[in-house]
Chain A
Amino acid sequence: GENVEQHPSTLSVQEGDSAVIKCTYSDSASNYFPWYKQELGKRPQLIIDIRSNVGEKKDQRIAVTLNKTAKHFSLHITETQPEDSAVYFCAASRTFGNEKLTFGTGTRLTIIP
């Protein structure tokens, strides 16, 4: 089955700086890669996702890049703000047949004012 590794487990950055979280996956058939943000005591919220037919996707201050050859994808947050502090989870899945999401272990991001 799919295995998703996520690094780092914790990350602290100064407000205004950029943050990068990286994930690797094992199943070469995976073609869908979402990122979720979970604030303390809240449910995970989908913030951005990418399919394998594109290499990069951007939505305002967040972007995701995908390298299918190397089987890794990354979340980039620019101009970080205190409200970006949360736990971020990457995930991977196929979009046909076995459709379950496999989650990474999570990254606790802290933005230092």
Chain B
Amino acid sequence: SAVISQKPSRDICQRGTSLTIQCQVDSQVTMMFWYRQQPGQSLTLIATANQGSEATYESGFVIDKFPISRPNLTFSTLTVSNMSPEDSSIYLCSVEGGREGYNEQFFGPGTRLTVL
């Protein structure tokens, strides 16, 4: 499976500020995914990021709040904008595994965000 890294691993931010999270993969992948995992909860897909096109956002998530960049096949960023305490979560990127006919995803280590 791909080796995925995220930066930062954790951060504490003030209300109203923005944080950009980076996701780096050691191999080229077509699709990258960004998830949010609130404390004690399941994984919720924020958006799917394909290289060379606009990200596709899930219901309840908008580009103004969570802008995403995907400049190449190994890198993506997610920005959490104008943060409030409700944005305190773990943010995870994931990538597809690549097996034909399967849709497995492998996750990065996550970014633990606390908003004060």
Chain A residues near B (Cβ < 8 Å): 32, 34, 42-46, 49, 51, 89, 93-95, 99-106
Contact = CB atoms under 8 A, between A and B. Distances in A.
Contacts, number: 50
Interface stretch (B12-20, B75-83, B98-106): B98-106
A46 B106 contact: yes
Nearest to A53: B101
A103 B108 contact: no
Contact of A32 (B31, B102, B106, B108): B102
A53 B105 CA distance: 20
B104 A43 contact: no
B92 A95 contact: no
- Counting contact residues on chain B (CB < 8 A from A), the size range is 20 to 34
A100 B59 CA distance: 13
A83 to B, nearest CB: 19
Interface of B: 31, 33, 41-45, 48, 58, 92, 96-97, 101-110
Given A43-B109, A46-B106, A51-B102, A103 B31 contact: no
Contact of A46 (B33, B44, B104, B110): B104
Contact of A99 (B42, B92, B103): B103
Given A43-B92, A89-B42, A89-B43, A51 B31 contact: no
B109 A103 contact: no
A51 B107 CA distance: 20
B45 A100 contact: yes
A101 B103 contact: yes
A100 B104 contact: no
Contacts of A105: 41-42
The 10 closest A-B pairs by CB, nearest first: A43-B107, A32-B103, A103-B43, A103-B42, A93-B103, A95-B103, A105-B42, A106-B42, A44-B107, A43-B109
B45 A101 contact: yes
A103 B104 CA distance: 12
Given A103-B43, A104-B42, A49 B104 contact: yes
22 contacts: A32-B104, A34-B105, A43-B92, A43-B107, A43-B109, A44-B43, A44-B92, A44-B107, A46-B97, A46-B106, A49-B104, A51-B101, A89-B42, A94-B103, A95-B103, A99-B31, A100-B45, A101-B103, A102-B45, A104-B42, A106-B41, A106-B42
